[in-house]
Amino acid sequence: MPTVLVIDDNPAVATALEVLFSLRDLRTVSATSPAAGLAILEREPVDVVIQDMNFRADTTSGEDGAALFRAIRARLPDMPVILMTAWTQLSSAVELVKAGAADYLAKPWDDNKLLTAVHNLLELSETRRELSRRRAGENRRRTELEQRYDLRGAVFADPATERVIALACQVARADVPVLITGPNGAGKEKIAEIVQANSAVAAGPFVILNCGGLPSELLEAELFGAEIGAYTGASRAREGKFESADGGTVFLDEIGNLSANGQMKLLRVLETGRFERLGSNRERQVKVRVISATNADLAAMIRAGTFREDLYYRLNTIEIRVPPLAERIDDILPLARHFLAAGKRLSGDARDALRNHSWPGNVRELKNALSRAQLLAAGAEITAADLALPGARPPADDEIDRPTIEAALARTGGVIAQAAADLGLSRQALYRRMDKLNIPRE
């Protein structure tokens, strides 16, 4: 049963609140002095505190109530505190709300408003506890991943990325082809590195070839090698990537760019481990783990007749999808800090701008944006103006009321980005509205 602590030197107040809360299945404990209230907080669990602002008959300033609030705040920073005020202490209460108090109500109080405030705070506290438990679990799993596997310096905090990396580690030891899909710049090569680093052939060579942007003959020569005169300009024999990767791994990025002939030869290598160099009839044998990646829709290419279906199923024994950065919001700031030079830092508006941007270019765009901003920044602090992100959303002009915002915060466990999205606002607009309504940011 949730517990409410009432700290008020008037026993009648505690009695009235105990009766009121008992109707809502809330347990009430009470104290008639700040010292007694703090002692209760030291020895038993409490979910919400309701405290008076004045405990001495010779003053109406609210200074003792303010001191009590700050003492609670120092001991229990996350404890929700509702202030009970007389009109003479109203200004003090407003200042304390800005300092982190959950709310204030004037005496005599409105029962419905008080019950609603307590209910919302209890709901928000439970959501935050659940969020804290979930994050603790995520941190534990991330630590286990880092201790057990070589993650190649991957920087991440988002559960979506953790799942991708965990899958990459899980399939790494299996001697099967892996297809990594996802948009350009999302980090497909980093996932390929993780698969290779944790594979049974991690000590072998790791050879990378981007299949995009090369004519078909040159691409096939890069893959399988070529003899002298195999194509125009082939003045010497050359070893291909599969020969170089023998006993290790070859990573073929943008696999959708392979020509029909290249696809046929790659299929043969996957099935038999055999191939010929361009311009040669001599068969060569290799043992190579193949990891491929693409941002193309290979299923659509199969329907269009531009990609072999049998090759697709050979490559796609295991598929790992890397989501775009827009689906991994919690990765944005850790990655941004990783890209910052020593001594540089992000301002609050820069952090908001980074999290609100859609990042169509994904991690690559983020890295470039930070590199540019560090050159433009006048000092150590990088601002939103330094980032100059295109398509930044203008602040919303809203009149959303306090209960609506508090409900959104409760639903999302106080995660501002999610609450703002639910309300159709930017983070900055939600912060401004919260400040105007004296809703604490914590």
Which has the closest alpha carbon to 290: 258, 323, 322? 258
Domain locations in the chain?
A: 3-127, 153-321, 325-387, 402-436
Letter string b/e over residues 277-297, b meaning 16 or more CB atoms within 10 A of that residue's CB: bbebeeebebebbbbbbbbee
Model confidence pLDDT, tens digit, residues 149-175: 999 999 999 999 999 999 999 999 998
Q: DSSP string covering 211-261, please?
A: -TTS-HHHHHHHHH-B-TTSSTT--S-B--HHHHTTTSEEEEESGGG--HH
- Pinpoint the alpha helices (H) of 149-215: 159-171, 188-197
**Residues 242, 250: Cα–Cα separation, whole Å:** 7
pLDDT truncated to tens, each residue of the chain (442 aa)?
A: 899 999 998 899 999 999 999 988 999 999 999 999 999 999 999 999 999 988 865 555 567 888 999 999 899 988 999 988 876 566 777 778 877 888 888 888 989 989 998 998 898 888 878 877 887 887 888 889 999 999 999 999 999 999 999 999 999 999 899 999 999 999 999 999 999 999 999 999 999 999 987 787 788 888 998 898 877 777 788 899 999 999 999 999 999 999 898 899 899 999 999 999 988 989 999 999 999 999 999 999 999 999 999 999 999 999 999 999 999 999 999 999 999 999 999 998 899 899 989 999 999 999 999 999 998 888 899 999 899 887 544 444 366 777 778 877 877 777 787 777 667 677 777 888 888 888 887 6
- Taking domain 3-127, whether its CATH number is 3.40.50.2300 is answered by yes
The mean pLDDT value of the chain amounts to: 88
Can 3-127 and 153-321 be said to share one CATH topology?
A: yes
| Overall size of the chain counted in residues | 442
What is the chain's percent helix, strand, coil content, to nearest 5? 50, 15, 35
Q: What is the pTM of this model?
A: 0.66
Amino acid code (one letter) for 145: L
Fold entry, domain 325-387: Helicase, Ruva Protein; domain 3 (1.10.8)
| Residue % of the chain over a pLDDT of 90 | 57
Question: What is the pLDDT, as a whole number, of residue 100?
Answer: 82
CA distance 422 to 413: 13
Number of Cβ within 10 Å of residue 140's Cβ equals: 10
Nearest to 359 by CA among 322, 394, 324: 324
Amino acid type, 431? Y
Q: Who contacts 273 (Cβ-Cβ below 8 Å, separation ≥6)? A: 285, 286, 287, 288
Quick: pLDDT tens for 223-274: 998 898 877 777 788 899 999 999 999 999 999 999 898 899 899 999 999 9
CA distances from 176 to 172, 290, 314, 436 (A): 9, 8, 9, 58
Domain 153-321 class in CATH: alpha beta
Cis status, amide bond into 403, omega within 30 of 0: no
State the Cα–Cα distance between residues 311 and 339, nearest whole angstrom: 38
User: Among the residues of 342-415, which ranges form H helices?
Assistant: 348-356, 362-376, 384-387, 402-411
